Structure 1
Amino acid sequence: MSNWDVHHLPRASGKTFLVTGGNAGIGYFVAEQLAGSGATVLLGSRNAAKADAAMSSIRSRVPDASLGHLPLDLSDLPSIKSSVDTLGIDRLDAVVCNAGVLLEGRPRQETAEGLELTFATNHLGHFVLVHQLMPLLETAEAGRVVTTGSFVGKSAELDLDDLQSERDYQPKRTYARSKLAQMLFAFELDRRLRAAGSTVLSLVDHPGGALDSLTPPRPVHAAPSGRTFPARLLLQGKEAGAWPAVRAVLDPSVRGGEMFGPRVFGLRGEPRREPVRGKLADTALAARLWAASAELTP
């Protein structure tokens, strides 16, 4: 792997990237950093006002940023194809599947199609989106699908007989399972792309421990508050949490099926390649999840 400097990114002028959830949180910082590379960055967001605020914030730091908004509601699976149809581009160099929800402290909810909301948004929405974007990604010289997983997803247990968490719904556990599903999908996707001889690569990133209190202030993000010194020793802010995704998009030396996370215990620091092992390397589980996802989606 090449040496990587998060503060001196390779230029990506002429390329087009889509970041889901690019209007807030880690997705915002992914979009901001990619915009600084000279690429055109599209923010996938269901809220136009929030997307406009995020684009204004990015332009305040990257005055020549080339930005756009893709109206996108990942919880509304039937709407995703029509959203992609409005893109109006002939190729897409990368999509960062970053958007997600955690319904902490709230009861189990379902989408209009009767799917559990967290799993539908975080995993199934991206499953459908990537399939719809594949023709545009195949047109690029070397398209990339970068899926943002989670440290908590590594330790989750996926119950293929209860993907909708109907029997034992707990918000944090359901979230962790959805992130595990995203990562398994990304690795299975790359295996299928390699088998098909595709030039598109599928990679996984995770942000480690990214806290609001350690995040640099932006107009779309409140200034840090409270004591941060103890947390700063082990964790990091969302700006740094974006680094693994940005590396997966821009580093010319990456290979399909790789995973990137923070250097220090997988929790903080500059991005590095991590080994893919345990349940993340379970090809049978990933194939069964793929089949189940295909049955649940339009």
Structure 2
Amino acid sequence: MPSVPSTPPWDVHRLPPADGRTVLVTGGNAGIGYFVAEQLAATGAAVVLGSRDPGKAEAALAVLRARVPGARVRAVRLDLADLGSLRTAVASLGPHLDAVVHNAGVALDDPPRRETGDGHELMFGTNHLGHFALTRWLLPLLAAAPAGRVVTMGSFAAKTEQLDLADLQSRHDYRPKRTYGRTKLAQMHFGLELERRLRAAGSAVTSVVVHPGGALDSRTPARPPVHQRTAGAWLGGLPAAVVLQGKDAGAWPAVRAVLDPAVGGGQLWGPRVFGLRGAPRREPLWRNLADPAVAGRLWAASSELTGVDPQDALG
């Protein structure tokens, strides 16, 4: 009886080829998003950096081309805080898109509370509402691909948070770190609810949620001028290296979610070791992500706040 060929174990340093595929990475000009783009570009995929700053995008493209000879990379101006600009930005992407990594985000450490030009709290408006609205315009492009995929980058900071559906904009109780964690939790809820709606519509597109674990600048390899790392910062980060990692490793779950057909819709992927560092693995859904009713109410509120609904692209 002939043996059935086994699937080789996933190796973050030996990724499968992805020639012919096109992936959009929001916030791909810096941080984890840059390393997602670099790793995908090395597989032969065409990578589009979504960035609100054309200068930073061009700098990132130059580094990518130097690091990955023959890299097929370009940038599109994408400002998630400006909801009205997103449809036009998507129009420049072409007839189809194989995957999007919803990575871009704003993290504020100190008050005062700030708002987008649309009047939304800056972190919620950018991290969640921007990606919610962007998905509305991307879904037709993803549906035109053989197996389109939405990969939403959550955060370990969301694991201990709960959404306050009565105060999504943090108007009554604004604490920057907590607000950030809740915006990432909202993103993760959206990614899971999107998968439920995709399945109900019979779509070939899938939606996966990932998180990078603990990803530190001090443990991240230098990519000047995109990322500068001094010897002092590297040494200072040594104690944390026992449980945390660099942003290059923080990119691994998202990269696997884009490339590995064994990763299924509605799943959560993160680092293997305590959810903080190591190779990517599937995790059980966190307890605060388990209630579809919360995700449904968030979806309805997000549609009202943005004036668009990704459901409209599902037919």
**7, 12, 18: which one aligns with 1:12:** 18
What count of residue pairs does the alignment treat as equivalent? 297
Alpha-carbon shift at residue 106 of structure 1 (Å): 3.5
What residue in structure 2 maps to residue 251 of structure 1?
A: 260
Does 1:292 pair with 2:297? no
**What does the per-residue CA deviation read over 1:108-154, in whole Å, with 9 as the maximum and x for residues that have no partner?**
01112211111000000000001110000000000000000001112
Does 1:49 pair with 2:55? yes
Unpaired stretches in structure 1, ≥5 consecutive residues: none
TM-align CA RMSD: 1.0
For 1:243 and 1:282, the matched residues in 2 are separated by: 27
What residue in structure 2 maps to residue 111 of structure 1?
A: 116
What residue in structure 2 maps to residue 236 of structure 1?
A: 245
What residue in structure 2 maps to residue 283 of structure 1?
A: 292
What residue in structure 1 maps to residue 201 of structure 2?
A: 196
1:55-70 aligned at under 5 Å gives the runs 55-70=61-76
**Partner of 1:19: helix, strand, or coil?**
strand
Give the greater-gyration-radius structure (CA): 2
For 1:173 and 1:46, the matched residues in 2 are separated by: 25
What residue in structure 1 maps to residue 189 of structure 2?
A: 184
Residues 22, 30 of structure 1: 8 Å contact kept: yes
**What does the per-residue CA deviation read over 1:185-226, in whole Å, with 9 as the maximum and x for residues that have no partner?**
000000000111111010011000000000000011012424
For 1:57 and 1:267, the matched residues in 2 are separated by: 27
For 2:188 and 2:246, the matched residues in 1 are separated by: 22
Alpha-carbon shift at residue 45 of structure 1 (Å): 0.1
**168, 171, 182: which one aligns with 2:173:** 168
**What does the per-residue CA deviation read over 1:139-177, in whole Å, with 9 as the maximum and x for residues that have no partner?**
000000000000111211110110110000011111000
For 2:227 and 2:50, the matched residues in 1 are separated by: 18
TM-score (norm 2): 0.93
TM-score (norm 1): 0.98
What residue in structure 1 maps to residue 214 of structure 2?
A: 209
Alpha-carbon shift at residue 292 of structure 1 (Å): 0.5
**Partner of 1:273: helix, strand, or coil?**
strand
Alpha-carbon shift at residue 86 of structure 1 (Å): 2.2
**Partner of 1:293: helix, strand, or coil?**
helix
**What does the per-residue CA deviation read over 1:28-67, in whole Å, with 9 as the maximum and x for residues that have no partner?**
0000000001000000001111011101111111011001
Amino acid across the alignment from 1:30 = V
Segments of 4+ moved more than 4 angstroms? none
Residues 2, 253 of structure 1: 8 Å contact kept: no
Q: Percent identity?
A: 64
Alpha-carbon shift at residue 2 of structure 1 (Å): 6.2
Amino acid across the alignment from 2:125 = A
For 2:8 and 2:190, the matched residues in 1 are separated by: 26
**Partner of 1:91: helix, strand, or coil?**
coil
What residue in structure 2 maps to residue 135 of structure 1?
A: 140
CA pair 29-83 structure 1, distance change in 2 beyond 3 A: same
For 1:106 and 1:116, the matched residues in 2 are separated by: 12
